[in-house]
């Protein structure tokens, strides 16, 4: 679990699935240090911007029609072929075409990309005097200002732009492209440090590997709102077995019980002060303690431990991360 504060866009990247992670780790152990996958979830603490997954067929066609610089990069013939795709009956063809043109753009020379970004920037700076730029156009200019002449400013047009409000989350599976743009979030992930990068970074790139591993699924990502567990706690369950996140907002003097679970948990306190009391579930007793918790503190809680948390004179905000409870229901 991490708390991320993103002031400058993080890299366009993806994480390999388990099979590819094993292969990459065996071939390049100094670069890909783990043989495990790295699904993750980002839960917004503030307004949070991200790019994740590929835009729909309709949006792709609209983009090629409205961004002449990209249409030029992919080639007139390729652009026209996509514009003729039947959105309802040719999804497989669209996926193949998307892979083809996205790969073409990402593999262009630095000089070609730099020239096209300059043309795009000049055009948008002229047009913003006459009209309101689209969200993607504004984003492209922002990214270019942070990473001049970087292909990521072009790649952003191919990806879904998502703006999360506090309390909303997105889950990111293996082999899915994404980039965090701005804001603060709780990030939780499987145990791995494997990252394949393709843009918006000064770190080493592995564009060929990223292009070959992507699934090229198209469409808007699901925004997770969480499921209420009690008046104070909301649970976020991603489609991965490794983890879940509970968000708890306790009013002044209120208390909440976290029942014992068969796996360990981490508790992170992000605002306020309160009492943190732990006990063993088998006798259903909790020892009263003087453990005062406050903003910034993290507690590791072993398996089979019941927790009672009480807010003091102000609201107490906290997050619990543990193994996905769906695993235990299936045992």
Residue 330: what pLDDT? 57
Domain boundary among 213, 239, 255: 213
Provide block-wise average pLDDT over 10 residues at a time, the chain (331 residues): 95 94 90 87 98 96 95 90 73 82 96 97 96 98 98 98 98 96 95 91 95 95 96 94 94 94 93 87 48 91 93 94 76 53
Task: Provide CB contacts within 8 A for 314, sequence distance 6+.
Answer: 252, 271, 272, 273
Question: Tell me, what's the pLDDT at 292?
Answer: 87
CATH of the domain at 123: 1.10.441.10
pLDDT confidence of residue 294? 92
> Could you tell me the CA-to-CA distances from 290 to 112, 250, 273, 305 in Å, in that order?
64, 18, 12, 17
Is the same domain home to 307 and 284? yes
pTM above 0.75, yes or no: yes
Q: Which residues are catalytic?
A: 197
Q: Looking at residue 295, what is its pLDDT?
A: 93
Domain membership of residue 52 (yes or no) is yes
Range of 273's domain?
227-330
Task: Tell me what pLDDT residue 285 has.
Answer: 44
198, with CB counted inside 10 A (0-12, 13-18, 19+), is: buried
CB 258 within 8 A of CB 176: no
Domain shared by 139 and 240, yes or no: no
pLDDT of residue 331: 53
Q: Look up the CATH number of the domain holding residue 234.
A: 2.60.120.10
Would you say 24 and 177 are in contact if contact means Cβ atoms under 8 Å apart? no
- Total of domains in the chain: 2
What local confidence, expressed as pLDDT, does residue 79 receive? Answer: 87
């Amino acid at each position: 679990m991490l708390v991320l504060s993103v002031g400058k866009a993080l890299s366009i990247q993806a994480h390999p699935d388990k099979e590819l992670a094993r292969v990459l780790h065996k071939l390049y152990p100094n670069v890909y240090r783990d043989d495990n996958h790295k699904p993750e979830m980002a839960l917004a603490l503030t307004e949070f911007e991200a790019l994740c997954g590929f835009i729909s067929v309709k949006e792709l066609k609209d983009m090629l029609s409205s961004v002449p610089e990209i249409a030029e990069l992919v080639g007139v013939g390729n652009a026209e072929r996509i514009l003729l795709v039947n959105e309802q009956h040719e999804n497989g063809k669209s996926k193949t075409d998307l892979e083809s043109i996205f790969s073409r753009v990402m593999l262009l020379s630095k000089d070609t990309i730099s020239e096209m970004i300059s043309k795009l920037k000049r055009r948008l700076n002229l047009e913003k005097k006459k009209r309101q730029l689209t969200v993607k156009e504004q984003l492209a200019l922002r990214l270019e200002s942070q990473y001049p002449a970087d292909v990521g400013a072009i790649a952003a047009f191919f990806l879904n732009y998502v703006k999360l409000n506090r309390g909303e989350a997105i889950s990111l599976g293996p082999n899915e492209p994404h980039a965090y743009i701005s804001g603060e979030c709780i990030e939780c992930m499987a145990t791995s440090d494997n990252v394949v990068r393709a843009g918006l970074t000064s770190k080493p790139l592995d564009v060929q590997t990223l292009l070959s591993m992507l699934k090229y699924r198209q469409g808007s990502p699901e925004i997770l709102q969480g499921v209420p567990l009690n008046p104070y706690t909301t649970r976020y369950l991603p489609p991965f077995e490794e983890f879940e996140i509970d968000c708890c907002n306790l009013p002044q003097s209120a208390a909440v019980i976290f029942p014992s679970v068969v796996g360990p948990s981490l508790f992170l306190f992000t605002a306020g002060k309160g009492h943190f009391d732990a006990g063993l579930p088998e006798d259903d007793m909790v020892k009263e303690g003087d453990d005062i918790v406050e903003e910034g503190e993290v507690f590791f809680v072993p398996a089979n431990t019941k927790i009672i948390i009480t807010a003091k004179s102000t609201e107490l905000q906290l997050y619990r991360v543990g193994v996905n409870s769906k695993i235990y229901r299936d045992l």
